[in-house]
Amino acid sequence: MAKFPWEDQFMASVESFVAAGMPAHEAASLLKEYIRLSHLTKLPAILDFEHHPELLDGSPLLEPDTDIHALMHAIFVPLLSRFTLEGKENFSRVIPALKGTGVTIVSNHLSLFDATVTQMLLGREADFTKYAEQFFFITGRLVFTSDFTRVAGRAFRTMLVASPRDMADNESIRRELMRLNLRSFKEAKERQRNGEALVLYPEGTRSRNNTMLPFHGPLFSYLDGTVVLPVAVEGPEKILHAESFMFGFTEGAMRIGEPVFIGAASDAPAGIPALDASQFPKDTRKQETMDAIGRMVAALLPAQMRGAYA
């Protein structure tokens, strides 16, 4: 079995696990299992629509692979042992809105493993575990075309979409990609109404310099009519930098801000303030609303990380 180009750097991560208190042989075993699964994990069946377009009639939601989920949990328990969770009371405030109104968790994006960080930090709180298990993440299908990220993508509940770059680079299947996105959007809204929280990274890609990028205006549709919970993470970029294949052991934090309902105040759940997008000009409404949420996330970060929303 041919080695992946990233394997040697990845295996050098053993030292970080030792620093976190894990025996070296146990850390090496976990990392080798990730590599093994990277060789074995296949492209999700629904993404083979170039040969089987009928697959687009099925759900674009991927449930986690049981073995991969367990592996990622074993890897990240020690790596997250020095991470703190702030603002737990704000998550408690949105629990009544999970069913009916729906909740969208909006976060900055620093690492390939942000989804794992988000789910595990909330999931390790006994009061929130059952809710974290029902999170689902909007994930670009290109994640599953990479031998390194394909495994990480199967560790949690994923709603598949095609990114603007994906569509631009694959004009021959643009129609199928648009169909995938429409199907994903409709199902995401339905799942939110049924009590499953959507986790969204509106920058659309990982920051390469640890500072925030502008939020994408078209993603407003996912937020519209839901309670938005702004979340900021600091530290995942040191666990795995965007340009690295080696895990690090570091302190970090996830901070949960005050929730806001996107819509008219008369429609907001009790105790949740409203951000009415209709206050903005029609032609800039989506972007201005996303920028307002971006500033809420940025306010939870150190000044040097706020980037576009400094």
Q: Is the pLDDT of residue 48 over 80?
A: no
In a domain, 1, yes or no: no
In a domain, 2, yes or no: no
**For 64-80, what is each residue's pLDDT tens digit?**
999 999 999 999 999 99
In a domain, 297, yes or no: yes
Min mean pLDDT across 48-52, 118-122, 157-161 is at: 48-52
Q: Is the pLDDT of residue 51 over 90?
A: no
Residue 257 sits in a domain whose CATH number is: 3.40.1130.10
In a domain, 31, yes or no: yes
Q: Is the pLDDT of residue 179 over 90?
A: no
Q: How many domains does the chain have?
A: 1
Range of the domain at 127: 7-309
In a domain, 62, yes or no: yes
**For 207-251, what is each residue's pLDDT tens digit?**
888 899 999 999 999 999 999 999 999 999 999 877 789 999 999
Q: Are 159 and 197 in contact (CB under 8 A)?
A: no
Q: Are 148 and 38 in contact (CB under 8 A)?
A: yes
- What CA–CA distance (Å, rounded) separates 141 from 129? 27
In a domain, 146, yes or no: yes
Q: What is the mean pLDDT of residues 150-163?
A: 91
In a domain, 224, yes or no: yes
Nearest-CA neighbor of 94 among 228, 283, 198, 216? 228
Using CB atoms within 10 Å of the CB of residue 285, give its burial: 0 to 12 exposed, 13 to 18 middle, 19+ buried: middle
In a domain, 41, yes or no: yes
- What CA–CA distance (Å, rounded) separates 13 from 24? 10
Q: Which two tokens stand for residue 224?
A: 């519209």
**For 251-262, what is each residue's pLDDT tens digit?**
999 999 999 999
Nearest-CA neighbor of 138 among 224, 203, 210? 203
